[in-house]
Amino acid sequence: MRIVTWNINSVRKRLPLLLQVMQDLRPDIVCLQEIKGETHVFPSEALQNAGYSHQFVRGMKAYNGVAILSRVPLSGQTATNWVGRDDARHIAALLPGGIELHNFYVPAGGDIPDRTQNEKFAHKLDFMAEMAVWAPRGKDKPRLLVGDLNVAPLPEDVWSHKQLLDVVSHTPVEVEALSRIQEAGGWTDALRQRFPIPERLYSWWSYRAADWAASNRGRRLDHIWLSAPLAGTLRDAGIYKKARGWAEASDHAPVWVDLAL
DNA sequence: ATGGTTGCATGGCAA
């Protein structure tokens, strides 16, 4: 089974690119973040025609929003509010065989890495603290956690560890918060399993670079984690960097895994 | 140190 996660940065704007990703990677399941629209404007029919007839969409106006698109049946759909906000940052569903799939869009956290000066950074840290409390529940079940976690945890997950130590997404306090979630849930980082340190891995490149590929100032913000019972099913994984180079691309590249389920 | 781009919605916020 192939599972893709992608921060698409508006599903309406990038529907043709999503269909291209589906054609190129032939995933069984696609998890999207930042669909940026209410549920009723989601392009359900076009994606159903592409073979993804099982859909779970949680949108909102203008911001955030997550979706799971699947060729195989979904059940037990849930949508959780974190830090008491109804801001469409998480959904989950059961795959055949009772595997839990969690799709997250963790808050980006604003620009200033200080919770006293920046409410958005406080929200991000609080969100991750709640995830760490949630994570141990069912850690012995087969589960996947995918999505834009907005943290690049390892020095090899950013273009310059030194220059990003004080930049939101790679600060020690965020790395520590993400690590707590990972340890609490017993999660295996699928991409790092496939591409161990010191390989550099990025899934996001800023729109603001004059030439994103030449400067290659990337960060690995998008992740696929496997619970212990699933860790042994990992067969392959990758980042579809090609999609970052397409016309009118998302600033994130799709990340994928193949599991022997 | 600064400013650089994009999407939504149509001003300014969020990323």
Indicate if CB(A207) is under 7 A from strand B. Answer: yes
Indicate if CB(A180) is under 7 A from strand B. Answer: no
The separation, in Å, between residue A233 CA and nucleotide B13 C1' comes to 42
CB < 8 Å & 24+ apart, contacts of A198-201:
A198/A156, A199/A156, A200/A156, A200/A157, A200/A159, A201/A156, A201/A157, A201/A239
Which CA-bearing residue is nearest the C1' of B9? A62
Structural domain boundaries, residue A10: 2-259
CA end-to-end span of chain A: 6
Residue carrying structure tokens 């980042």: A239
Residue A148 φ then ψ, to 5°: -90, 100
Total domain count for chain A? 1
Q: Does residue A112 contact residue A14 with C-beta atoms inside 8 Å?
A: no
- A251 nearest nt, CA–C1': B6
- A105 nearest nt, CA–C1': B15
Cα–Cα distance for residue pair A60/A148, rounded to 1 Å:
17
Q: Does residue A39 contact residue A59 with C-beta atoms inside 8 Å?
A: yes
pLDDT value of position A42? 98
Give the residue from A16, A45, A21, A40 showing the smallest Cα distance to A31. A21
pLDDT value of position A207? 98
Cα–Cα distance for residue pair A178/A154, rounded to 1 Å:
11
Residue carrying structure tokens 């991409």: A191
CATH code for position A184: 3.60.10.10
C-alpha triplet A93, A134, A254: angle, nearest 5° = 50
Nucleotides of B under 7 A from a protein CB: 3-9, 12, 14-15
Tens place of pLDDT per residue across chain A (261 aa) = 999 999 999 999 999 999 999 999 999 999 999 999 999 999 999 999 999 999 999 999 999 999 999 999 999 999 999 999 999 999 999 999 999 999 999 999 999 999 999 999 999 999 999 999 999 998 999 999 999 999 999 999 999 999 999 999 999 999 999 999 999 999 999 999 999 999 999 999 999 999 999 999 999 999 999 999 999 999 999 999 999 999 999 999 999 999 999
Q: pTM score, two decimals?
A: 0.98
Please state, in angstroms and as integers, the Cα–Cα distance from residue A80 to each residue in A32, A39, A223, following that order: 16, 16, 19
